[in-house]
Amino acid sequence: MDQEYYLELSENPVQFENASSVNNVFFDEANKQVFAVRSGGATGVVVKGPEDKSPIAFRMDDKGEVKCIKFSLGNKILAVQRTPKSVDFTNFIPDFPHLEFSHECKTKNANVLGFCWTNWNEIVFVTDQGIEYYQVLPDKRSLKMLKSQSINVNWYIYCPETAVLLLSTTVQGNVLQPFAFKNGTMSKMPKFEIELPMVPKPAKISLSERDIAVSTIYGQLYVMYLKHQSRSTNSSGAEVVLYHLPREGAFKKTHILKLNTTGKFALNVVDNLVVVHHQSSQTSIIFDIKLREPDCAVNVHQPVLPARSIHPYKIPLTGYLWYLQVKLQPTVNLLQDKGKLMDFLLRRRDCKMVILSVCSQMLDGGEKGNLPVIATVFDKLNQVYKEYLEAEQAYTVALESGPSRFSSSYKRPVRTQAVIDQSDMYTHVLSAFTENKDVSHKFIIAVVMEYIRSLNQFQITVQHYLYELVIKTLVQHNLFYMLHQFLQYHVLSDSKPLACLLLSLESTYPPAHQLSLDMLKRLSTANDEIVEVLLSKQQVLGALRFVRSVGGHDNVSARKFLDAARQTEDTMLFYTIFRFFEQRNLRLRGNPAFNPGEHCEEHNSYFKEVFGEQTLMKSAAV
């Protein structure tokens, strides 16, 4: 059996032809760009990114080896570091001179370790003695100091998503000092210490830049520490320790990811999953920090899925850079616990069709499909569905309350693929399931009713087409007694479409007619529909009695009833209906005759033809 690969490389990698002639390659995480630098006389640079339709290519004077090169946000200004003391800048803004200018760090005897763009015109120099925060003035070809901070720095890591810079300080390097940048301001966040593994004396261990990563997971900033266990400890292997780093408040160790092996590792975060690559086995494992025990200070996690290699890929002799992607379909067979599988899938980006396929597979097992498990899955889906409906409703209420109460920061809730509504379930799962001849009708009814129960539990209005599925299945198998009970005890909620469906079943199940009328009466807003139903069944007197019972007989259309009476070809019935409306006219207007606007001339002529003109009522004496 082929291995189930749940990790793959993106279909459109960043590709460089003649990669052998490239002297240096730099990756800019903020802009997701790769810089290929070729030296020799002038320095040639090609910049590519996965989203770029065409690469950016330019040449620079060869002023020495390029140590770091990055565009500011939007490719407006290029920054290049060639020496430990300064950074060179070039404008790429249209209509600005394409000239280079340079800026030296201000701290005496300091060496520039690197730099980070925090905005299109704001940059941070990181030196071994601190940080210098500048505003770049492209028109003046100069930099303006915004703020600086003196601190001994071993190395640094920058998270462009949150504009948070992490500095490693102290001899062991395990005290980390974060700084946050926003709109020209720099904020010093509380420093924290990474717990290093215990080693026997006199050996010492220090924190390496290679063992730290910073990323946003489920909207929160985490520092990830790859903790290698010492050989002297009786440990099961290395682990990744996650520290939550809030904007305000103290940092906290929140998660430990057990790798259960030793060796060299690399980390990625893909679709809010922590992916750990193991070099010697050439396999990867994934962790989902939301799959955890509640109310635990520190959650210990095992891999969600068994270790697997990334899907093999044939690589020609060119340079490549890929995005790593998670394939969800193979995870279905690797996670046997359906509740856990659903928790995992609901948090993924492209999950809808995989979730619906899981539901279909689960139901196609017939009685083998455990109904309590199916109920759990429905509840998980409808909880997400309900949360979205509530957010949408809150947004609508806020919008309708007017500008005084509606904040511009209040954004319309995004409908993610995790929102599986009734239409999705009906179209992709239940409609085909109810037609499955290999599954018993009892199980079909139980499953659909279980879905309806779940919707009711989350106070979601059930759409009539789900009730129709139940009714059609019951009728198909002649389970009229069960249909009667479902309606009698209001298991199936009243609605006009449902009442109409019941009416259509009268020829198969005669009591359905009365059940339909009873339902329409309970709806109270369906009086017109009841009248139309009764008239269509030629129950003209019954329709008239109903109109009188709800007090609508003074406003009802005479022509509609007279048309229906004529169609019965019962002359005495027509006489009765005609006489009723004559009496109504007399009572309301003092004259039994019909007004021209009522368009009853044809019926008036018919009455005179059959019963004689002398039979018409006379006006009341004045």
* Range with the largest mean pLDDT of 12-26, 116-130, 529-543: 116-130
Output the pLDDT for position 1. Answer: 39
Task: Tell me the mean pLDDT in the region 71-75.
Answer: 92
pLDDT tens, position by position, 298-311: 899 999 999 999 88
Domain annotation covers residue 256: yes
Task: Tell me the mean pLDDT in the region 330-354.
Answer: 94
Domain annotation covers residue 306: yes
Domain that holds residue 290: 1-13+208-327
Task: Tell me the mean pLDDT in the region 219-223.
Answer: 95
| Residue 369, pLDDT above cutoff 60 | no
pLDDT tens, position by position, 423-478: 999 999 999 999 988 888 999 999 999 999 999 999 999 998 999 899 989 988 89
Which structure tokens are listed for 214?
């910073």
Task: For residues 303 and 142, give the distance between their C-alpha atoms in angstroms, rounded to a whole number.
Answer: 51
Domain annotation covers residue 502: no
Average pLDDT, the chain: 88
Domain annotation covers residue 492: no
| Residue 403, pLDDT above cutoff 90 | no
Output the pLDDT for position 528. Answer: 81
Both 552 and 592 in one domain: the answer is yes
- Given 267, 296, 327, the domain boundary residue is 327
CA end-to-end distance (rounded Å), the chain: 100
- Given 135, 168, 193, the domain boundary residue is 193
Output the pLDDT for position 234. Answer: 64
Task: For residues 73 and 118, give the distance between their C-alpha atoms in angstroms, rounded to a whole number.
Answer: 8
Both 132 and 225 in one domain: the answer is no
Q: Which residue has the tokens 């060796």?
A: 263
Task: Give the count of domains, the chain.
Answer: 3
Domain annotation covers residue 145: yes
Both 174 and 224 in one domain: the answer is no
The model's confidence at residue 69, banded by pLDDT at 50, 70 and 90, is very high
| Residue 318, pLDDT above cutoff 80 | no
Domain annotation covers residue 522: no
Both 240 and 312 in one domain: the answer is yes
Both 244 and 174 in one domain: the answer is no
- Given 162, 193, 224, the domain boundary residue is 193
| C-beta contacts of 199-203 below 8 A and 24+ residues apart | 199/230, 199/232, 200/230, 200/232
**Preceding amide of 190 cis, omega within 30:** no
Domain annotation covers residue 345: no
Residue 90, domain CATH: 2.130.10.10
Task: For residues 251 and 253, give the distance between their C-alpha atoms in angstroms, rounded to a whole number.
Answer: 7
CA 595, 596, 601: angle at the middle one, nearest 5? 100
Both 241 and 121 in one domain: the answer is no
Query: Which of 193-207, 368-382, 583-597 is predicted with the least confidence, judged by mean pLDDT?
Result: 193-207
Both 251 and 137 in one domain: the answer is no
C-alpha distances in angstroms, 270 versus 215, 264, 331? 10, 20, 15
Task: For residues 83 and 113, give the distance between their C-alpha atoms in angstroms, rounded to a whole number.
Answer: 10
Both 174 and 275 in one domain: the answer is no
pLDDT tens, position by position, 468-517: 899 989 988 899 999 888 888 888 888 878 887 787 777 788 888 788 87
pLDDT tens, position by position, 104-133: 999 989 999 999 999 999 999 999 999 999
The model's confidence at residue 622, banded by pLDDT at 50, 70 and 90, is very low
C-alpha distances in angstroms, 205 versus 172, 196, 212, 410? 7, 7, 15, 48
Output the pLDDT for position 51. Answer: 75
Domain annotation covers residue 147: yes
Contact 364, 439 (CB under 8 A): yes
Output the pLDDT for position 3. Answer: 63
